[in-house]
C-alpha cells in the first residue's frame, strides 16, 4: 500500500483528535516547505518567536494533543525542546553571522503540569563569554503559572 492510500485509510477510521493531530502535522510540514520555519521541530510545534530585546526572546506554542504524554499533559521532553530552542535563539542572536551557539549543558526543573491553551517561554542571556554563553528560560502556562525553568550553557563555534 502506498502512502497516499495509507493516509486515506487512516483518515477514514480516525477519531476527531487523530484528525486534528494529523492536520496539525500536515500544516507543520507545509510551513517548513514554505520556509516559514527553519526546522521541522519548530514548525511541527508551531513555535511563534518574538524578540523582546537584544538578549531576550519569547516563544509561544499552542498546547495540542500532539504534545501530550500518556497522562494528557505536555510531554516534558517537548517542554525541554521549547526551552532549549528559546535559549539557543537568545544565544545565537548575540553572535556575529560567522558564529553559532550549540547546547553543551541544560538543567531543568519542572514545577507544574503543562496544561491549558498555550505555553510561553521567556529566555535570556545571563552571561556572554569568549567561548560560552549562559542562559535561562522560564515556561508559563496560559494562566501565568510557572511550568518549568531551565539554565543552559552554549558553546560558541565557528560556522
pLDDT in tens, 40-66: 999 999 999 999 998 999 999 999 999
Cβ atoms of 116 and 93 within 8 Å: the answer is no
Q: Give me the domain span that covers residue 87.
A: 47-158
Residues 51 and 126 grouped into a single domain: yes
User: 157 pLDDT exceeds 90?
Assistant: yes
Residues 25 and 99 grouped into a single domain: no
pLDDT confidence of residue 48:
96
The residues, any chain, with a CB within 8 Å of residue 8's CB and separated by 6 or more, are none
Q: What is the pTM of this model?
A: 0.93
pLDDT confidence of residue 123:
98
User: Helix (H, G, I), strand (E, B), or coil: what is residue 65?
Assistant: helix
User: Which CATH number is 135's domain given?
Assistant: 3.10.129.10
Helix (H), strand (E) at residue 21 = helix 16-33
Residues 63 and 119 grouped into a single domain: yes
Residues 129 and 82 grouped into a single domain: yes
Listed residue (80, 104, 159, 92) closest to 128, CA to CA: 92
- Mean pLDDT over 2-20 rounds to 92
**Residue ranges of the alpha helices (H) in 69-112?**
76-93
Number of domains in the chain: 2
- Mean pLDDT over 91-108 rounds to 96
Tens digits of residue pLDDT in 123-155:
999 999 999 999 999 999 999 999 999 999 999
User: Helix (H, G, I), strand (E, B), or coil: what is residue 112?
Assistant: coil
Residues 78 and 144 grouped into a single domain: yes
Amino acid at each position: 500500500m502506498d502512502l497516499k492510500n495509507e493516509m486515506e485509510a487512516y483518515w477514514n477510521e480516525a477519531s476527531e483528535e487523530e484528525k486534528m493531530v494529523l492536520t496539525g502535522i500536515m500544516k507543520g510540514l507545509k510551513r517548513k516547505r514554505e520556509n516559514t520555519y527553519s526546522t521541522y521541530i519548530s514548525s511541527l510545534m508551531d513555535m511563534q518567536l518574538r524578540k523582546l530585546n537584544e538578549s531576550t526572546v519569547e516563544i509561544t506554542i499552542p498546547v495540542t494533543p500532539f504534545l501530550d504524554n500518556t497522562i494528557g499533559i505536555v510531554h516534558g521532553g517537548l517542554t525541554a525542546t521549547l526551552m532549549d530552542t528559546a535559549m539557543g535563539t537568545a544565544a545565537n542572536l548575540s553572535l556575529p553571522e560567522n558564529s553559532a551557539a550549540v547546547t553543551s549543558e541544560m538543567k531543568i526543573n519542572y514545577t507544574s503540569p503543562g496544561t491549558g491553551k498555550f505555553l510561553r517561554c521567556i529566555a535570556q542571556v545571563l552571561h556572554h563569554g569568549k567561548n560560552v554563553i549562559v542562559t535561562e528560560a522560564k515556561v508559563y502556562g496560559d494562566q501565568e503559572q510557572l511550568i518549568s525553568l531551565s539554565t543552559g550553557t552554549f558553546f560558541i563555534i565557528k560556522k
